[in-house]
Amino acid sequence: MRKKLEDHPNFTGYLFAILATAIWSGNFVIARGLSDDISPISLAFWRWVVATVVFFPLAIKPLWKQRKEIRKHLPYLCITGLLGVTIFNTMLYYAGKTTTAINLSLLSITFPIFIILISRAVFKETIGWKKTTGIAMVAFGVIFMITKGNLRTLLGLTFQVGDLWMIGGAFIFAVYSILLRKKPAELNIWSFQLATFLLGLLFLSPIYAWDYFQSPDVEYTTTTYLSIGYVGVFASLAAFVLWNKSILNIGPSEAGMVYYTLPIFSGALAYFILDEPIGWLHIMSAGFIFTGILIANAKRKKQT
Mean pLDDT value of segment 208-222:
83
Contact assessment for residue 68 and residue 77, using Cβ atoms and an 8 Å cutoff: no
Q: Which residue has the higher pLDDT, 174 or 4?
A: 174
The pTM (predicted TM-score) of the whole model is: 0.75
Is the pLDDT reported for residue 67 higher than 80? yes
Is the pLDDT reported for residue 45 higher than 90? yes
pLDDT, position 275: 65
Mean pLDDT value of segment 4-15:
69
Say if 302 falls within a structural domain: no
Say if 303 falls within a structural domain: no
Q: Which residue has the higher pLDDT, 37 or 230?
A: 230
Say if 150 falls within a structural domain: yes
Say if 29 falls within a structural domain: yes
Q: Which residue has the higher pLDDT, 209 or 216?
A: 209
Say if 301 falls within a structural domain: no
Say if 119 falls within a structural domain: yes
Q: What is the CB-side half-sphere exposure of residue 34 using CA atoms within 13 A?
A: 32
Task: Report the share of the chain in percent with pLDDT over 90.
Answer: 20
Is the pLDDT reported for residue 249 higher than 80? yes
State the CB neighbour count (10 A cutoff) for residue 130: 15
* Residue from 233, 225, 169 nearest 38 by CA: 225
Q: Which residue has the higher pLDDT, 14 or 156?
A: 14
State the CB neighbour count (10 A cutoff) for residue 155: 6
Say if 138 falls within a structural domain: yes
- Own/partner contacts of 83-86, CB < 8 Å, gap of 24 or more, are 83/172, 83/173, 83/175, 83/176, 83/179, 84/173, 84/176, 84/196, 84/200, 84/240, 85/48, 85/196, 85/197, 85/199, 85/200, 85/201, 85/203, 85/204, 86/200, 86/201, 86/203, 86/204, 86/207
Is the pLDDT reported for residue 169 higher than 80? yes
Q: Which residue has the higher pLDDT, 245 or 163?
A: 245
Is the pLDDT reported for residue 54 higher than 80? yes
Using CA atoms, how far residue 239 sits from 19, 153, 166, 194, 232, in Å, is: 7, 33, 19, 14, 10
Q: Number of structural domains, the chain?
A: 1
pLDDT, position 146: 65
- Own/partner contacts of 8-16, CB < 8 Å, gap of 24 or more, are 9/249, 9/250, 10/249, 10/250, 12/245, 12/249, 13/245, 13/246, 13/248, 13/249, 13/250, 13/254, 13/255, 14/246, 14/250, 14/254, 14/258, 16/242, 16/243, 16/245, 16/246, 16/249
pLDDT in tens, 74-108: 999 999 999 999 998 889 888 877 765 556 666 67
Is the pLDDT reported for residue 47 higher than 80? yes
Say if 304 falls within a structural domain: no
Determine the structural domain holding residue 171 and report its residue range: 5-296
